[in-house]
Amino acid sequence: MTPEEFRREGHRVVDWIANYMENVERYPVLSQSQPGQIREQLPPSPPARPESFDSILSDVDEILMPGITHWQSPNFFAFFPANHSGPSILGEMMSAGLGVQGMLWMTSPACTELETHVMDWIVEMLDLPDRFLSSGDGGGVIQDTASSSTLCAILAARERVSEYRIREHGVDRTLVVYASGESHSSVEKACAISGIGTGNLRIVNVDDQQRMDPQHLSELIQQDRESGVTPCCVVATVGTTSTGAVDPLEKIGSVCRQEGLWLHVDAAMMGTAAICPEFRFIHQGLESADSYCFNPHKWMFTNFDCDCFFVADRNALIRTLSILPEYLKNQATQSGAVIDYRDWQIPLGRRFRALKLWFVIRSMGVEGIRERVREHVRLGRLFAEWVKQDSRFELIAHAGLNLICFRKRGSDADNRNLLDRLNQSGQVYLTHTQTNGQFVLRMSIGQLGTEEAHVRRAWELITT
C-alpha cells in the first residue's frame, strides 16, 4: 500500500468509523451470532494474491458485523464499560501510524516522557497521594490491563518480603496474599502465576455490603504468622466487579502498615469517579497504598487497552522486573537519568498508549470528563430510585455511583428469564452476578453516549 493508497483507504476507514458511531444504536447490542457462524463464512486458507480493500471492507460489513457486540452502544449496560471516544481512537491511530515500540527511553524519548507526564497529570486529576508522583520515589506506568498491574504488584510484594531473593532463587517459603471473595479473579490468577499458589490466597470475609472486613484480615494475618507462613500482600478493591463495593482502605491500610504488608488497591472501573471532588470518598485511606491501579479503558473514554498503575516506591518494582541484556544497553540507561518502562512491566516491548490518553485529556479537558462522569452517576442514582420505588423489584447493592444491582422479587429463574428476554431483544445488554446466593442483575452505566433517555428506555424494557 503506497502512502497515497493509504490516504485514500484511510479516509474510507475513518468515514466507516464515523458512520458506525452515528449508527451504533441501530445494531442489536448483544451479537445474536451463533457459535461457528462467523468462521464458516471465512475461506479456509489465506489469499495467495492481494485482495482489494473494497472486498476486505465489504467482508467486515457482511461477515464480521453480525458477530460484533456493540460495547460502544449507549444501551450497553453489561459488565463494566470499555468505552472509547473520538480523540482516543485518533490517538490510537496515530500510535499505530508511528509504530513506536517504547521499551527503552532511547527507543523513543517522547513515548516515555509523555507517559511519565500524563501519569503525573492523572495523580493531579484524581487527587491521588503525592507519593505516586514521579518527582518523588514513586511513579506511574501504563499497563495493558488491571490484571497485569495486580500481577506486577504481587510480584513486587513477593520480592520486597523476601529482600529481593525470590527472583534469583525461586519461592523458598509459603507466602500469603489476602483479598476478599469479592475481589477480581485476576488476584487469584496472579497468585497462580507468581508461584505463591492459589491455595495461599486467603479469602477475607466481607460485611453485608460486600466490603472487606479489616478485623478478619487482621485475624487471618495473626493465624498465618502463628503457623509460620509469611504474609506478603493485601489486595483491596475500590468498586468490586460484582456490586461496586468499596473496601475500607483506611482500616486495611493501618493493618498493612502495622504488619509491614504491601497494599495494592484495584480501582479498575471506579477509580475514574475520583476526577470529581465530590466522589473522592472512594479513595479515602489510599495514602497507605504501595500500589494502585485504575483503567481509563473502562470509564475514562480511552479505548482498550489502557490501565494506569502507580507505585509509591518505583525501586521495588524495578528491582523485581528489571533485566538488562547486552543488546539493550545504551548510554541513556546507564546514565540513570531516564526511565525505561520495560523495567516496570512484564513484557519487554510496549505500545505508545500515553498518546490516546493525552488526546482524551486534552480534547475533553478535565471538566469535560467530569461532566460525563457526573452525568453517569446522576443516571445511576436515578435508576436506583426507580428500582426502590417499584414494589416488584428490590435494590440489592448500590455504592452510590454508576453500578446498580437489583432483582425482580421472585425466583432466580424469573430473573434469569428477565435477563434473557432483555438481551435477546437486542435493545439493551445487561449482565448478572450472584449476591448472597441470589441471581442479581447489574446495570452498569458508563458509555460516552448514554443519556437519560437510554436509561429510561432500559427501565421500561425491564418493567414491561
Among 84, 160, 184, 283, the residue binding ligand PLP under the rule CB under 6 A is: 184
The rounded radius of gyration (Å) of the Cα atoms in the chain is: 23
Q: Which is nearer to ligand PLP, 32 or 431 (CB)?
A: 431
Q: Which is nearer to ligand PLP, 267 or 448 (CB)?
A: 267
Is residue 179 near ligand PLP by the rule CB under 6 A?
no
Is residue 146 near ligand PLP by the rule CB under 6 A?
yes
Is residue 147 near ligand PLP by the rule CB under 6 A?
yes
Q: Which is nearer to ligand PLP, 269 or 397 (CB)?
A: 269
Task: Find out whether 373 and 366 touch, Cβ atoms under 8 Å.
Answer: no
Is residue 447 near ligand PLP by the rule CB under 6 A?
no
Q: Which is nearer to ligand PLP, 266 or 340 (CB)?
A: 266
Is residue 269 near ligand PLP by the rule CB under 6 A?
yes
Cα 437 to the center of its chain, rounded Å: 26
Is residue 291 near ligand PLP by the rule CB under 6 A?
no
User: In degrees rounded to 5, what are phi and psi of residue 204?
Assistant: -85, 140
Quote the least distance from Cβ 144 to ligand PLP, whole Å. 7
Candidates 57-65, 110-118, 251-259, 264-272; binding stretch for ligand PLP (CB under 6 A): 264-272
Provide CB contacts within 8 A for 118, sequence distance 6+: 354, 357, 358, 361
**Backbone dihedral region of 19: left (phi > 0), alpha (psi from -120 to 50 degrees) or beta?**
alpha
Is residue 268 near ligand PLP by the rule CB under 6 A?
yes
Is residue 186 near ligand PLP by the rule CB under 6 A?
yes
Residue matched to cell numbers 480534547: 363
Q: Which is nearer to ligand PLP, 87 or 244 (CB)?
A: 244
Task: Find out whether 63 and 38 touch, Cβ atoms under 8 Å.
Answer: yes
- Compute the distance between CA of residue 415 and CA of residue 442 in angstroms, rounded to an integer: 11
Q: What is the largest CA-CA distance in the chain?
A: 71
Quote the least distance from Cβ 82 to ligand PLP, whole Å. 8
Take residue 264 and report the three cell numbers written for it: 495494592
Q: Which is nearer to ligand PLP, 95 or 241 (CB)?
A: 241
Q: How many residues bind ligand PLP (CB under 6 A)?
A: 15
**Sheet architecture: strand order including 291-294:** 139-143, 307-311, 291-294, 262-266, 230-237, 175-180, 201-204
Among 92, 159, 247, 266, the residue binding ligand PLP under the rule CB under 6 A is: 266
User: In degrees rounded to 5, what are phi and psi of residue 436?
Assistant: 45, 45
Candidates 102-110, 142-150, 278-286, 368-376; binding stretch for ligand PLP (CB under 6 A): 142-150
Quote the least distance from Cβ 217 to ligand PLP, whole Å. 18
Take residue 290 and report the three cell numbers written for it: 504501595
Quote the least distance from Cβ 186 to ligand PLP, whole Å. 5
- The contact mask relative to ligand PLP for 59-98 (x = CB under 6 A, - = no) is ---------------------x------------------
Is residue 307 near ligand PLP by the rule CB under 6 A?
yes
Quote the least distance from Cβ 444 to ligand PLP, whole Å. 10
Task: Find out whether 309 and 141 touch, Cβ atoms under 8 Å.
Answer: yes
Nearest residue to 202 (alpha-carbon basis) of 211, 194, 183: 183
Among 241, 303, 320, 427, the residue binding ligand PLP under the rule CB under 6 A is: 241
Candidates 125-133, 236-244, 280-288, 415-423; binding stretch for ligand PLP (CB under 6 A): 236-244
79-205-267 Cα angle (round to 5): 40
- Compute the distance between CA of residue 180 and CA of residue 178 in angstroms, rounded to an integer: 7
Residue matched to cell numbers 438481551: 423
* Residue 264, CA distances (Å) to 157, 285, 286, 346 in order: 9, 12, 10, 17
Q: Which is nearer to ligand PLP, 133 or 443 (CB)?
A: 443
Is residue 295 near ligand PLP by the rule CB under 6 A?
yes
Give residues in contact with ligand PLP (CB under 6 A).
Answer: 80, 145-147, 184, 186, 237, 239-241, 266, 268-269, 295, 307
